[in-house]
């Protein structure tokens, strides 16, 4: 019993002694303000040193170090610590010492245990600049390839997810981390074998899979344009070619939509087309385009179509139209129009298919470039009364009061009464023609004005 008691007392004494040593050592570290034994910073053992001494030791050790950036065993770049300005700042060292847990000193009795401190980093202001220079220079090589995100492709009526592809362009942040890690661990060879820009979107992306479903809905819907008597359904392949994705949302390529709408406009719009016209006395004549006609405003229509597409709902749509002469039955000129024959010096007015006016007129004087312009024009305004102003051939100004004025083109030509003309028709215009307008007898101009609405086509040939 005495022996057992003696053993217990002995063990207790040892424990107390060990505890005293442990506590004494911890208090010593706290009092001395030194690093634990085997503490390593940037590959330099600073055990037992103060913050100031440790800072000097590390900076002396790394001053002449040469660092090599390697990729797959090949050297990409080299830099020296001195040239790069790498150094340990005493402020950082003091912070590292302050974070040291004095009661954990036993873990630092061996070099193996000290390895846990190898992640301590240098405080430097040049790593970013070094990294940027290396990455930019390396990535300029034509042999470097960019990472390619996973994306949607439309093939044979179905969408597929094309997998992402890794590139060989270096990622600045990853390279910077590798440099900092190597410097902190005292390594002079820095491997960047895996420091590449990674695809931002992979084939496992949940968002991309959802976008695939949305794209299928959009493409499988039917979008039909009703243009006069025509119905044009946009092909699924065309709709699919308009859809693009960054991996986060679907967008509609406006340029591609505008290209398609331009093709529709070129086929169906009338504002630039030469027309054949069945005249009153000259049979069928060919008349070039003037102001009359309509077209699709491409940009506005593309913007209007986009939200319809993104909803993925089938629709029949009449496109936005600009201009005049759009008729659902495609008749273009229709049965209400003004007809002017320069050869006959005669004008006819038709309203709802019935001839309501037939009169001789005086058109533009052929010489001095005053000929009345041929084309399919339009009455785009009406004024009564009005004052016509312009310049005579000698440069003097003229001002003529008229009772009725209907401009038809974009140069100042129109139809109006002309009290100064003594006669109409025949070849009078060859010597006494107007500056381009259609001079009409005052006795009938009122009837013309009454029966011709704004927007009425005027065919001059």
Strands 315-317 vs 223-227: parallel, antiparallel or unpaired: parallel
- What does the alpha-carbon distance between residue 66 and residue 215 come to, in Å, rounded to a whole number? 54
Both tokens assigned to 212: 């695939």
- What does the alpha-carbon distance between residue 365 and residue 374 come to, in Å, rounded to a whole number? 14
The three-point CA angle 443-447-448 to 5° equals 105
- What does the alpha-carbon distance between residue 146 and residue 176 come to, in Å, rounded to a whole number? 19
- What does the alpha-carbon distance between residue 184 and residue 190 come to, in Å, rounded to a whole number? 11
Residue 22's closest CA among 105, 84, 94, 92? 105
Residue 280 neighbours by CB under 8 Å, 6+ apart? 339, 341, 348, 355
Both tokens assigned to 122: 């240098």
Both tokens assigned to 107: 């873990």
Contact 340, 460 (CB under 8 A): yes
- Spacing of C-alpha 108 from chain mean position: 59
Catalytic residue list: 416, 437
Residue 177 neighbours by CB under 8 Å, 6+ apart? 195
């Amino acid at each position: 019993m005495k022996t057992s008691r003696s053993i217990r007392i002995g063990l207790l004494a040892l424990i107390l002694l060990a505890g005293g040593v442990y506590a004494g050592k911890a208090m010593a570290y706290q009092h001395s303000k030194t690093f634990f034994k085997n503490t390593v910073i940037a590959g330099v053992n600073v055990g037992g040193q103060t913050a100031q001494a440790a800072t000097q030791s590390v900076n002396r050790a790394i001053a002449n170090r040469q660092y090599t950036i390697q990729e797959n065993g090949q050297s990409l770049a080299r830099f020296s610590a001195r040239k790069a300005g790498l150094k340990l700042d005493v402020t950082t060292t003091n912070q590292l010492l302050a974070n040291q847990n004095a009661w954990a000193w036993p873990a630092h009795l061996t070099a193996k245990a000290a390895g846990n401190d190898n992640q301590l980093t240098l405080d430097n202001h040049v790593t970013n600049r070094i990294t940027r220079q290396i990455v930019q220079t390396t990535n300029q090589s034509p042999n470097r390839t960019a990472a390619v995100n996973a994306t949607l492709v439309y093939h044979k009526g179905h969408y597929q997810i094309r997998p992402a592809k890794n590139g060989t362009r270096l990622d600045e942040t990853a390279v910077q981390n590798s440099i900092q890690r190597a410097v902190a661990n005292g390594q002079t060879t820095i491997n960047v074998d895996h420091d590449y820009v990674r695809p931002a979107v992979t084939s496992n992306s949940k968002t991309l899979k959802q976008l695939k479903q949305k794209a299928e809905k959009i493409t499988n819907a039917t979008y039909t344009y009703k243009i006069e008597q025509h119905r044009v359904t946009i092909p699924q392949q065309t709709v699919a070619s308009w859809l693009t994705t960054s991996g986060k949302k679907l967008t509609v390529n406006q340029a591609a939509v505008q290209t398609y709408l331009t093709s529709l406009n070129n086929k169906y719009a009338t504002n630039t087309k030469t027309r054949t016209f069945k005249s009153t006395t000259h049979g069928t004549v060919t008349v070039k385009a003037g102001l009359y006609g309509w077209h699709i405003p491409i940009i506005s229509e593309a913007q209007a179509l986009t939200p319809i597409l993104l909803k993925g709902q089938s629709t029949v749509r009449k496109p936005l139209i600009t201009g005049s002469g759009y008729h659902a039955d495609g008749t273009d000129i229709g049965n209400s129009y003004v007809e002017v024959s320069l050869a006959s010096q005669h004008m006819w007015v038709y309203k709802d298919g019935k001839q309501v006016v037939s009169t001789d007129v005086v058109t533009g004087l052929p010489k001095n470039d005053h000929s009345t312009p041929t084309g399919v024009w339009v009455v785009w305004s009406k004024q009564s009364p009005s004052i016509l102003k312009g310049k005579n051939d000698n440069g003097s100004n003229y001002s003529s009061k008229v009772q009725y004025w209907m401009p038809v083109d974009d140069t100042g030509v129109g139809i109006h009464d002309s009290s100064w003309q003594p006669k109409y028709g025949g070849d009078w215009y060859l010597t006494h023609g107007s500056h381009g307008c259609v001079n009409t007898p005052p006795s009938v101009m009122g009837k013309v004005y009454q029966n011709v609405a704004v927007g009425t086509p005027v065919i001059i040939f």
